[in-house]
Amino acid sequence: MTSQQAPNHRSNRMRALWPVPVVTLSLAAASLVGACTSHAAGRTNAPAPSAMSAAPSCVDKVYGAMTGPQRVGQLFMGAVTASSPDRQKIQLMRQSHVGAVFLAGRSSAGTRATKALVDSLQAQADTVAGKRVSLLVSTDQEGGHVQVLSGPGFSAIPSALTQGSWSTSYLRSQAATWAEQLGAAGVNLNLAPVADVVPASVGRNNAPIGGYDREFGHTAATVTPHSNAFAAGMARSKVLATLKHFPGLGSVRGNTDTTANVVDSVTTRTSSSLDPFRSGIKAGAPFVMISSATYSRIDPKHQAAFSSTVIKDMLRKDFGFKGVVVSDDLGQAVAVKAVPPADRAVNFLSAGGDLVLTIEPNQIPVMAKAVQTRMAQNSAFRAQVDQSVHRVLAAKQREGLLSCG
């Protein structure tokens, strides 16, 4: 992610950098609980893909009891404004069986009010075979300019550039504390750390990262251990971490949130700037976010989010990543505006992605329908989507978000 949502809805990345009016969440959260109903009809008991374990695992049981729309819904993450949740958009996401939400904007309401909001969202999560499939609840809690949640119970987190000057043991300890605070607020997935390396020669001319001190340092030797320490601290307190923005936004000039045709003409499949990702994946990173820039020396014909070379060949094969691949914003980002919303979702999943993040939830019904249509037409795509659903459900199981007892 590159920054935070602006008042003019330009992009999810501008959301932390622009002030958003703070409102009391308790009443909004309470009103949302009343919208909760249950899902039932139309279940299909299709078997899990043969590539998965033949044993009837919890994931297999949940997958087999889901309807087609419920399965597809697990592959979408829609934004909810943390300070002023839009009930209509939340209901729309519920109708689309969305399996993940992203708390966007800025809220200084604190942990208790945020937890009330999250509880109201979780109350509307899908029920499958009488068991709730809880939501992945994410936010951007990097520090510095990019900290969505603040107020009572939340620390003021310094920028990553400052964190990069700390010892890794201290950073790990601090990150564990920040993760505890997220957990107290009901957040189980942090879209951080930034594993991008911004060369000192580029510095603040790098609009998405360097311009906001979002990098841990200017060399892979500095970024790698600090990115790992941040992720390890999150894991210590049971919050999932996300390495971003693969294969790196450190060598670009433009911000993909606000600029079209952002191209990295430096990075190759063997660049040392990839070391933080390689190391983090070896350490067990559960999520990786894909950039929407184009990498001319890797795949000049496709943006990374739509590139099977980047996701399948590099991330999956070269790096051995087996976790969940989440997109950068495919809703409002200017970098993807030329691609119709339906195609954004289909192209990302076709390239090997798992979880579509959109700051504009109104696009999810169109995106989900397009995915279902392609699944009906293409057996290879259907099998790939099924594997993605399994990966998302497996991540939820490890986080305690599935119940099969």
pLDDT tens profile 295-319: 999 999 999 999 999 999 999 999 9
Measured distance CA(331)–CA(357) in Å, rounded? 7
| Residue 40 pLDDT | 35
Instruction: Say what the pLDDT of residue 343 is.
Output: 99
Terminal-to-terminal C-alpha distance of the chain: 36
Mean pLDDT (whole number) for 363-387: 98
Quote the CA–CA distance of 24 and 183 in Å, as a whole number.
20
Average pLDDT, the chain: 90
Q: Once rounded to an integer, what is the mean pLDDT over residues 323-345? A: 98
The whole-number pLDDT of residue 34 equals: 39
Predicted confidence (pLDDT) per residue in 19-35, tens digit: 333 333 433 433 333 33
Q: What is the pLDDT of residue 158?
A: 99
**Which stretch of 3-7, 36-40, 197-201 has the lowest confidence by average pLDDT?**
36-40
Give the pLDDT band of residue 7 (cuts 50, 70, 90).
very low
Which residues, other chains included, contact 105 with Cβ-Cβ below 8 Å and sequence gap of 6+?
4, 5, 15, 20, 81, 82, 83, 84, 148
Average pLDDT over residues 137-149: 99
Mean pLDDT for 373-378 is 98
Quick check: 16 pLDDT over 90?
Answer: no
Residues 15, 17, 18, 22: is their CA dihedral positive or negative? positive
Q: Where are the alpha helices (DSSP H) in 208-289?
A: 220-236, 275-282
Q: Which residue has the higher pLDDT, 46 or 361?
A: 361
Report helix, strand or coil for 151.
coil
pLDDT greater than 50 at residue 346: yes
Domains, in order of start, for the chain: 57-398 (3.20.20.300)
Within 6-133, where are the H helices?
25-33, 58-65, 68-73, 87-95, 110-122
Could you give the dihedral angle defined by the CA atoms of residues 40, 135, 152 and 79, in that order, rounded to the nearest 10 degrees?
A: -100
Q: Would you say residue 49 has pLDDT above 80?
A: no
State the average pLDDT over residues 116-136. Answer: 95
If one counts every other C-beta atom within 10 angstroms of the C-beta of residue 338, the result is 10
User: Does the pLDDT value for residue 56 go beyond 70?
Assistant: no
